[in-house]
Structure 1
Amino acid sequence: MELNPPTYTGHMQDRKVGRIYPWADWQSANRKLTNVTRFGLEIPRDGGGLPPTAKSPPNDRPGENEGRQVPYNQPLAQVGNQRQDTMRHQDRIAQNTRANILLATLNMRGRLSATLGGRQISKWTEIHSVMKEKQIGILAVQETQLTEENVDQIHQLFGRQLKVLNSSDPDRPTSSAGVAFVVNREIANTADIDFKVLIPGRVTTLTTKWHGTNMITLINVYAPNNYGEHPAFWGEIGSQMRGQHVPSPDFMMGDLNIVEDAIDRSPVRLDNEAACEALQNLRGDLDIVDVWRQDYPDTRQFTFQSTVGEVTQSRLDRVYTRPGLADLLYDWDCTHTSVPTDHSMVLVRYSPANAPEIGPGRWTWPLGLVNDQELLGTVIELGKNLKIHSPLD
């Protein structure tokens, strides 16, 4: 598939299929679309090969992902300009991050799958594909079961697109628990991330700038299966947040392994009272609510199905938010993905109150219209009329 020349600096468009390609991917996209193998995984050349060494992802801090060294004899004038380059980069981040962001949570049930070949990180090919297809900005995943070596492998494969912030179970990192935030570098800001581990392998937080000076804080939770552990677990989250001075969260998401409402189980039943009370106490302290349940009080929707013995369903995977954000959330969804797991992915789109309104239309100017004289004449005429009737004159 031969691609047309770039429509403007930074991006180019394939008019046949309507895809937008980063300029850095121009040469690789024009090569024959064959697969390469890294760590036993088949990776498409136009999708997620090894991160290039000549340029960092668009929303990284300068030099964070470049993989090249500054020459020892670099002129001092160039070194002196690095501060200005960093300031310009911060302005560029504000422009590159989108006015709204799609957040999601998924219990991926381990890093590998026999259906995908059983390789050490085989599920991460699908994680990458799902985030790219759905344009997810930040994904909270549970049961990652990753080692540091596994995380390095993921970054070598998909480091251009994804930044993985993982916390493993300290005792059984490859067979139990594990939580991670996966940040889409092409959508979200990765230059100013504050990542904290509250409970290793179970609870982490992420704070980052969003669209200019807005800050957003998220909590990623994978709660124990044993109800008896819940009171201490939810209490420890509150203690760690106070001790580590974590800002009040905008979102808490993950696999909570408990439901607060009987309607969220089939067959209908209430969960352990002490466990529910501990979760509700934490929610009260953090001032977060189940907005989806408030909006849809009578709707039954399940994110997990157990086929062990009696078939049961439950809404274990949820997203809690501050009440003040309720009117800024839309596109709620609960869906199965190509990631082999017994949980559904829960998604919600968040648009900050001061985000600019973006109407319908084309994001890029089609190359064929650049020399369209009739269209150019119309644009010029409209510009003249705008100036004539400007209230500032």
Structure 2
Amino acid sequence: MNKDKAALGMFIILLVSYVINAMDRQLFSVLAPDVRSALGLSLPQVGLAATVFTLGMGVAGIPTGYLLGKMSRRAVTIIGLIIFSAATYLTAYAKGMPDLLLYRFVSGLGEAMQLTALLAIGTTYFLRHRALAASSLNFTFGIGAIIGPNLGAAILGATQWQMPFMVFGLMGAVVLVLIMLFVKPWFTETQVSEQDAGMVREDGLADTIWARTPMTLALATAFAGLAIYGYLGLYPTFLRDALGFTPKEAGLAVSFYGFGALLSLFGGWLGDKYDYRKLLIVSLIISAASGGILFAGLGKSLALHIVFSFVFGAAISGMVYSNLSAGIIKSVKRRNASYASGLFVASLYIPAAFAGYLLGVLKEDFGWSAAGIAQVAGCALISAVLAWIAAVGQRQPVPHPQA
């Protein structure tokens, strides 16, 4: 029991480091209009800059899964934290589109290394509660998504656009010290063989990440990523440019997406207790409806934007993200958990890198409302169909009778 309490304490420290990760990711979208003005960028360009970090995350996802077989998970976590914090700090010194894209891309590389390692740590040690362990990461992402936009907007109001990047970048150093002092290898490097091998039956689970079910779930993840990062990348710009919201109002509205993400623990619990694939289908349909409404029909009501940002965040982040990440891992045998976490990261973040650019192009051709409905709602619906396809013909893994 004492060992489990110590493990939980160490996992909480790692989750705090992921709050910093989430804050860094959410910061740019609030500052995008200011960066666009300072560097003379077009809307598609700033949309690309807002989401290109996800290309770094996606590119690093599967290689990091294999890297975890060569290096300790603790070391990969620390290296990832250093990389994305340094890149966030350096974003303040961007002079144009090329170096801005470089810093954003590199920050994504570090964020993916950290996320992939943390998924492997949590879902391996807490084997009975893999969806809950995966969803705890998204829960802490929600905390960062609440703090990041509001703190960034507050710093922006008192200084220039560069200062929030500097402040957020330096925060990583504090958490780095905590990890190095308190997070021990016996927790981070736990192997499945050290756990009760009979906890979960593996009948019908894939021997490789390239099998039908994990790949179908990966494709569903890709379309979900286009919906999520279309919203995260340019929704604050839509609020400011199209509806005239102030930076603080836009930051407040988008932060309620983060409050929705706080339901991740509940979503993970539901995914462990019931069939996560049915939960995915329902949640994606709700995501499509609420995401489309956000870009059409709410007018300038801040209250309504807050409500529907929360609903969208609760559905697509609290339920969908949690159960896609855990679902891909659950669809393969336990020995492939690190590879499966890498597949999830790659599937979500490579397409998401172009989500902001795509929404910016669609907006210039069809206007904000049509663009938002097409990308955010449309991609969520396609993801729902793919989740249904993945559910056909595969049994839900069940606990071993002795567990």
What is the TM-score when the length of structure 1 is the normalising length? 0.24
Structure with a larger share of its residues in strand: 1
- In our comparison, the structure showing a higher alpha carbon Rg is 1
What is the TM-score when the length of structure 2 is the normalising length? 0.24
Structure with a larger share of its residues in helix: 2
